[in-house]
Chains A and B, each alone.
Chain A
Amino acid sequence: MKKNFEPAGCTLLIRFTIFIFAFFCSISYPALTFAETSQTVISGGHSKEDINRGKRFFMGLLPFESKHQSCVSCHNLTATDTLNWNPSAMDIALKYAGKDSASFRQVIMEPSGKVMTAAHQNFDISDADIQTIKVYLDQLAITGPGIPKPSINRLLLFLLLGILITWALLDLIFFKKVKYKFIPALVFIGAFGYQLGMLYEEAVKLGRSQEYQPDQPIKFSHKVHATDNQIDCMYCHHTATESKTANIPSTELCMNCHIVVREGTHSGRFEIDKLVQAHEQGRSVEWVRIHKLPDHVFFSHAQHVGAGKLDCTQCHGAVEEMHIVKQENDLSMGWCLECHRETQVDFVDNEYYKTFEALHKELASGKKDSIVAADIGANDCAKCHY
């Protein structure tokens, strides 16, 4: 354990250098990777021109004889923050990466599903053009869509404020260049105040992810399933009443319905095909986790849904209205405790609560008109932290 520390002095300086280095690495990392991937080899003996032509065609930059929109207007190239039911360029590229352009052509020109048939109606694209699109997409499957340039993030602003503070302090104490002392003083107070505010904000948000709404590998819509098709939450999340976790349905469970249902109302066949393919390959779908409590919190669905008979929406929001699920509440401890103070317990009907004789007396004597979760100790530390 002694090797923790460097032997000599100047440690602060070293630490600071490491910190600055790590900071710049973290900022420049995406840019580096982007630069690297754009130089990868070209597939299948196609020239750079072929690929560029395909790209321009895809983006609608070539003279386009059809009256239809460009490919990219439906099949987005980069990640979007709005819902696009159509498969993205990357999705398509990956799916057809291993297939020849004849089958690719067939899919585009003679689509099988209703949604796609409607969208691709009266398409008139030459085989050569389809070939170039295919070449471009094949290349895309290798390189990836590229990562958008990182925006100037808050850390940079924080650092800038730090420099301002340093300047203000140096000027106030040593250089005294600015004639009016109140200017650096104001800069100092303003910058420092703003920094504190940022720190507070970040500290509160640390580990929380309210409004988190990541893209999922399949455009699975809870609205379509729970509202349009009236599937009960408990059909898929069937262990919610008996276990700590609510269960994410297995591929096989999805296939109970999708063995028949092969085309979606919004997304056509493309998204469901991903599921079918996973099933054929014996894979699980790797969903992106949204709701996550820290490791030191032991939350039990069985307690809340089973014994407490809470509705799913109480914590998860109106998931049945969501096309893309997002985290509705911040899942902070304050939020938990608040609910415990308000939620009434099924105190009379459930025999278990007979043990709480003192509370039954208070209820009978009218001292209390109802028993909430906090009354039976729901807000004790060791109810969730052990």
Chain B
Amino acid sequence: MSEENKYWHILEEFEPIKDARMPKGREEVISPSSRRNFLKVLGLGTASAALIASCKRPVEKAIPYFIKPDEITPGKAAYYASSYFNQNEFGNVLVKVRDNRPIKLEPNPKSVITPNGTSGRVQASVLDVYNINRYQHPLKNGESIQWEAADSEIMERLRQLADSGQPILLFTPTIISPSTKKLISEFVAAYNAEWHQYDAIPMDGYREANRKSFGTDAIPEYHFEKADCIVSVGCDFLGTWLSPVEFSGQYAKRRDLHNGDGNLNKHYQIEAGMSLTGSNADLRIRAERNDYGRILAYLRNKLAAKKGVPATELPAPPQAVAEKLDLAINDLLANEGNSLVICGDNNPDYQVIVNSINQMLGNVGRTIQFERTYNHYRGNEKGIEKLLNSNPGAVVVWDVNPVYNHPESEKIKAAIEKAPLSVALSSLPDETTALCEYILPSPGYLECWDDAEYKDGVVSILQPTLHKLFDSRQAQETVLTWLKDDTNWRDTIKSNWAASYFPKQTEQNDPERFWIEMLKRGEFVTSSNPVSVGYNQNEVEKSLQQISNEKPTEDFTVELFENINIGTGHGPLNPWLQEVPDPVTRIAWDNYASISPAVARQMGIKNGDVIQLGTLTIPAFVQPGQADKTISIALGYGRIKGIPEELITGVNAYPLATVENGFRQFAVSGFDITKTGGFEQMALVQGHQSMEGRPIVRESTLDKWKENPAAGNELHEQIKHHHTTLYQKHEYKGHKWGMAIDLNKCIGCSACVLACNTENNIPVVGKKETARAHEMHWIRIDRYYNGDEENPEVVRQPVMCQHCDNAPCENVCPVAATNHSSEGLNQMAYNRCIGTRYCNNNCPYKVRRFNWMDYTGADAIPNNRYDPANMTVDLSRMRHNPDVTVRAKGVIEKCSFCVQRIQEKKLTAKNEGRQLLDGELQPACQQACPADAIVFGDLNDPNSKVSKMMEDPRNYHLLEELHTLPSVGYLTKIRNKS
């Protein structure tokens, strides 16, 4: 750890708040132990023990299949290629199916888009299928109805409306499925309907700007792996922007120092609120949200001046920002053609400027390519305008929820209620479906057939991996029925593929075999040719003019952003996503208004104080690095309809958004902060896990690293010399498992946390328990700040069980429930654990988790059950990985290095009579990591990737001075400050 870095963990380290570490409500469960309580427990214990012991072995049935399907081997997983798509989330996945139940999603390594990782949301989506809140049968005005009756009524009324010329409006999110698009166009033609795509957070401004600049409304491919210099203005491309999983992989490739060439990219982030991307930047420039336009104009004009292009004088951004921008400009000029400038605002004027900058720098055609453009984000405002301004005869909503996520919510609500016919084809209840007359539920995506063309020429398949759980019907099949077409939807897709893609390939000469091959591979890629686009700079002047009209304001600007876990509002139903803390603030289960420390101090606001912003009442959170005049609020929270009470959290911030010139804007000025005097306890998971200023994250700069690869890690060598022991060392005669984590590549997206949740049956404990430090995640991503509170640097560190060779936990267990395996694992036998928690106390890394209550329903005593999120109902329990014990109350659990996977892969190798290959064995976290930051393998094999990383001079161990000898190594973070 370099001398000058002073890390701090939470703001309270500057200004300690009295009860920061002891949230209220703790006394509720742990009441003082009195004689009476003791007798109560004793009585209950004796009675239940006696009853349980007197039970006879119940007669259990073993029921085989009637006809065993060939593809199912009981006790063995099968994998099916499929895809996940939702808003900005796309993933080609392999669905792991055990005994007919999908239980885990893994990245499809053959995919061209997302070969090496998935997002956290993809990982969590398996739980969406087993959601008890789904519509379970068709409804009319809230009453159950038969499919045939509903269909004939709707068809008749649609026909009447079509004949009388009243508009029929169909709202969908962006559809990227070529077959579905074709089907909808048939529907539109048959019923004279209008089809509108609607996105909760649209990118129509980008498309409009590209139309003006390049003559095409396509959203191009961005190649972050080719960019030596990235300048991002408020664009969270690693978290939520456009295609974050893809970009994370590309970005991390350029943060890789392990190959030794030191060719790091340089990343400038100009932003108001601290985003995930901003917290990874080499240089984060703090700027006000409503200065973005002026900043872009400044960048453009400065660059134009240097390139000799005529520039217009504009009001400059504040001096402090401008000075730092000059650094970025120099770097951009030094990397012409290999740089990338992006902006995260939907304002087309801003995007026109961005386009002109990239064009000037020669990036178009290099880091920005129009070869395989993105097909998602096709939504715009036209549909809503039409809905509000015409008197529609019928409104059909299909997985869109404008009543919740459009600023004109009330008017939309009135319009839908007024429409003579309203039909919902969604699978989950929400604010919009609640208004609809008919609800024809569709199943979850793991029960559906579909295809998806996420990027031009890359077409993927979605295939069902589960029988329909409820009486649902895929929306496409519903439309087919309305079209009186009795082909089934799968056959429709199949014939589309035979007609569209079969002729474009030569490998297979039979359409049937081509289809089967595609089902196996999951993806078809057509050949592509470079596309060059023209450039038109006429609009730039107009856009600059628009920006010059913007004036800096004295009041507060609210910036609404998409949260990486909750997304646009699908997430709240998924307790896994709710429980993963935000990677920056480390708060779970809530949204809040982030305000800067200076403002907080000035107004006397502390974390959790409820403030009033216009119509919005929301708790405040003091966020280091936040711009003073900007308040950031996450979208997607505050869903009410169709959500069980326990999962209703946060505040809906969508009503604050505005529509300007036909484009939705998520930054709004003109707010004042008023304290309401209220207080809300937030589930902040960081304070109680502070590592108290020890050299736990080590970092250096690129220049220093080039001189000395061990820069910032000098301690490692010093400490190594002090290691000595009187005891015998463990012997590892076969494998010795180890893990290396490259802190330079970890972006903190939390995909690993969610992958671990899915794989290891991690329980959900709810907001109250999370606030009391009872969360159960086996892997956490610690976040530390370094520097001043105004604009600190951020470092992150994923921490899981370190599997120490000298494990402090092992020595103190009175019942030997945790001990060392012959392969270097610190193993944990749950059935042996009696819950003394000595191990937990003795673990310096605080990675052991205790089941304070029965969160899973595994306990024999029903009174122990604590289930805040419906995770113990039978349907939710279907998600469990049958290869991992579901833990009951009173036992410790922790990361096992996914020992079930180790066992499985070793067995495969044994059965095939070969040695294990390096990289064959991946724990869930490594497998899901889109940035490739985690490497697992055999340390006894000197040629394995993990061994080589452990040899890297950057490698160190967490708290290595304690001589715990962890099997997990960290590679120092290197910032590019040259």
The residue in B731, B899, B940 that gathers the most chain A C-beta atoms within 10 A of its C-beta is B899
- Within B372-395, the residues touching A (CB, 8 Å) are none
Question: Is the beta-carbon distance between A286 and B831 smaller than 8 angstroms?
Answer: no
The residue that B73 contacts in the complex, of A5, A242, A307, A349, with Cβ under 8 A, is A242
B819 touches A381 (CB 8 A): yes
B829 adjacent to A298 (CB under 8 Å): no
In the complex, chain A residues whose CB is within 8 Å of the CB of B827: 380-382, 385-386
Closest-by-CB residue of A relative to B827 is A382
Q: How far is the CB of A336 from chain B (nearest CB, A)?
A: 14
Q: Nearest CB to that of B37 among chain A residues?
A: A5
Give the residues in chain B near A377, CB-CB below 8 Å: 734, 821-823
B484 within 8 A of A: no
The answer for the CA separation of A380 and B39 in the assembled complex, in Å, is 39
Given contacts A1-B866, A352-B914, A355-B735, contact A251 B64 (CB under 8 A): yes
Chain A residues with CB under 8 Å of B53's CB are 202, 206
With A287-B62, A287-B63, A294-B831 in contact, do A352 and B916 touch (Cβ < 8 Å)?
A: yes
Complex CA–CA separation, A10 to B916 (angstroms): 63
Q: Interface code B22-50, partner A: CB below 8 Å = 1, 0 otherwise?
A: 00000011000000110110111011001
CB distance from B554 to the nearest CB of A (A): 50
Cα A18 to Cα B47 in complex, Å, equals 8
Pick the residue among A11, A245, A295, A381 that contacts B40 (CB under 8 A): A11
B825-A248 in contact (CB<8A): no
Rounded to whole Å, the gap between the CB of B557 and the closest CB of chain A is 44
Q: Which of B60, B66, B899, B907 contacts A289, CB < 8 Å?
A: B60
A253, A351, A355, A359: residue with the most chain B Cβ atoms closer than 10 Å: A355
User: Inside 8 A of B727's CB, which chain A residues have their CB?
Assistant: none
Q: How many A residues touch the partner, as a band?
A: 35 or more
Sample of 17 A–B contacts (CB below 8 Å) = A11-B43, A15-B47, A18-B47, A212-B57, A239-B73, A252-B68, A288-B62, A302-B911, A307-B911, A351-B914, A351-B915, A352-B912, A353-B734, A358-B733, A380-B822, A385-B885, A386-B827
A359 CA / B602 CA spacing, docked (Å): 69
Across the interface, do A250 and B67 meet the contact criterion of CB distance under 8 Å? yes
- Shortest B924–chain A CB gap in Å is 13
Interface contact A288-B76, CB-CB below 8 Å: no
In the complex the two chains form, what is the Cα distance from A5 to B910 in whole Å?
A: 53
Bound complex: CA of A300 vs CA of B900, how far in Å? 11
Is B189's beta carbon under 8 Å from chain A? no
Contacts of B829 in A (CB 8 A): 296, 381-382, 385
Nearest residue, chain A, Cβ from B734? A356
Stretch at the interface among A71-79, A118-126, A227-235, A277-285: A277-285
B54 contacts which chain A residues (CB < 8 A)?
Answer: 23, 26, 155
Please indicate the chain A residues that have their CB under 8 angstroms from the CB of B37 in the complex. 5
| A11 and B853 alpha carbons, distance in the complex (Å) | 23
Produce 1/0 per residue, B810-823, CB < 8 A to A.
00000000010111
Q: Report yes or no: A287 in contact with B64, Cβ–Cβ below 8 A.
A: yes
Known: A251-B64, A287-B62, A295-B885. A380 touches B734 (CB 8 A): no
Q: Which B residues are in CB contact (< 8 Å) with A292? A: 60
Residues A247 and B74 in contact, CB atoms below 8 Å apart: yes
Q: Let me know if B721 is at the binding interface, CB within 8 A.
A: no
Chain B residue at smallest Cβ distance from A23: B54
Q: In the complex, what distance in Å separates the CA atom of A285 from the CA atom of B66?
A: 8
Please give, as numbers and ranges, the residues of chain A lying within 8 Å of B825 by CB-CB distance: 380, 382
- Residue of B whose beta carbon sits closest to that of A14: B43
Residues of B within 8 A of A354 (CB): 915
- Taking CB atoms and an 8 Å cut-off, the chain B residues in 819-864 that contact chain A are 819, 821-823, 825, 827-832, 853, 863
CB <8 Å contact, A355 and B61: no
- Which residues of B are found within 8 Å of A380, using beta-carbon distances? 821-823, 825, 827
Find residues 1-41 in chain A having any chain B CB closer than 8 Å to their own CB. Answer: 1-2, 4-6, 9, 11-12, 14-16, 18-19, 22-23, 26
Residue of B nearest to A298 (CB): B883
Partner among A287, A376, A386 whose Cβ is within 8 Å of the Cβ of B900: A386
A249 within 8 A of B: yes
Q: Which residue of A lies closest to B46 (CB)?
A: A15
CA distance A356 to B822 in the complex (A): 11
Q: Which residues of B contact A357 (CB under 8 A)?
A: 733, 940
Bound-state Cα–Cα, A358 to B64, Å: 44
Q: Quick check: A352 and B915 within 8 Å, CB to CB?
A: yes
For B819, the closest partner residue in chain A by CB is A381
Expressed in whole angstroms, the Cα–Cα distance for A375 and B65 within the complex equals: 39
Q: A245-B75, A296-B885 are in contact. List 14 more A-B contacts (CB 8 A).
A: A5-B44, A243-B76, A251-B65, A287-B63, A288-B59, A289-B60, A292-B60, A295-B885, A353-B734, A356-B733, A359-B733, A359-B734, A377-B823, A381-B832
In the complex, what residue of chain B is closest to A345 when comparing beta carbons? B910
Say whether A114 faces chain B, with CB atoms less than 8 Å apart.
no
Q: A11-B43, A252-B67 are in contact. Are A289 and B61 (CB under 8 A)?
A: yes
Give Cα A333 to B59, complex, Å: 22
Least distance between A215 CB and chain B CB atoms (Å)? 10
Closest to A278 in B: B66
* B896 close to chain A: CB less than 8 A: yes
CB of B884 within 8 Å of the partner chain = yes
A350→B910 CA distance, assembly (Å): 7
Contact in complex: B43, A12 (CB < 8 Å): yes
Tell me the B506-548 residues at the A interface (CB within 8 Å).
none
Is B74 touching A286 in the complex (CB atoms < 8 A)?
no
Interface centre among A249, A253, A352 (most CB of B within 10 A): A352
B718 on interface, CB distance cutoff 8 Å: no
Q: Hey, which chain A residues are within 8 Å of B615, CB to CB?
A: none
Residues of chain A at the chain B interface (Cβ within 8 Å): 1-2, 4-6, 9, 11-12, 14-16, 18-19, 22-23, 26, 155, 202, 206, 209, 212, 214, 239, 241-245, 247-253, 282-289, 292, 294-296, 298, 300-303, 306-307, 349-359, 375-377, 380-383, 385-386
Q: Does B719 contact A (CB under 8 A)?
A: no
Interface residues of B in 917-955 (CB under 8 A from A): 938, 940-941
B909 beta carbon closer than 8 Å to chain A = yes
Q: B913 an interface residue at 8 Å Cβ cutoff?
A: yes
CA distance A6 to B39 in the complex (A): 12
Q: How far does the Cβ of A153 sit from chain B's closest Cβ, in whole Å?
A: 9
User: Is B149 located at the chain interface by the 8 A CB criterion?
Assistant: no
Please state if B44 and A15 are interface contacts (CB–CB under 8 Å). Answer: yes
Q: How far is the CB of B728 from chain A (nearest CB, A)?
A: 15
Knowing A1-B866, A11-B39, A206-B53, the reply to whether A376 touches B734 (Cβ < 8 A) is yes
B259 on the A face (CB < 8 A): no
Q: How many angstroms between the C-alpha atoms of A206 and B938 in the bound complex? A: 40
A382 near B76: Cβ-Cβ < 8 Å: no
B51 at the interface (CB under 8 A from A): yes
Chain B min CB distance to A279 (Å): 8
B501 to chain A, nearest CB (A): 35
With A5-B40, A295-B885, A296-B885 already in contact, the answer to whether A249 and B64 are too (CB < 8 A) is: yes
B319 within 8 A of partner (CB)? no
Roughly how many angstroms separate A16 CA and B42 CA in the complex, as a whole number?
Answer: 11
**Chain A residues closer than 8 Å to B903, beta-carbon distance:** 298, 300, 383, 386
Alpha-carbon gap, A376 to B906, bound state (A):
12
Query: What CA separation (Å) do A14 and B57 show in the bound complex?
Result: 28
Interface string of B867-911 (1 = CB under 8 A from A): 000000000000000011110000000001001100100110111
Partner of B51 from A22, A202, A376 at Cβ < 8 Å: A22
Report how far A252 CA is from B39 CA in the complex, Å.
57
User: How many Å from the CB of B947 to the closest CB on chain A?
Assistant: 13
Selected contact of B68 from candidates A2, A250, A350, CB within 8 Å:
A250
Assembled-state Cα–Cα distance A5/B64 (Å): 43
CB neighbours of A244 from chain B (8 A): 75-76
B29→A350 contact, CB < 8 A: no
Quick check: A245 and B74 within 8 Å, CB to CB? yes
CA A9 – CA B828 in complex, angstroms? 39
Known A15-B44, A214-B59: A1·B64 in contact at CB below 8 Å: no
CB distance from A79 to the nearest CB of B (A): 13
Partner among B734, B907, B941 whose Cβ is within 8 Å of the Cβ of A303: B907
What are the residues of chain A within 8 A of B866 when measuring CB–CB?
Answer: 1
For the complex, what is the distance from the CA of A307 to the CA of B906, rounded to whole Å?
Answer: 10
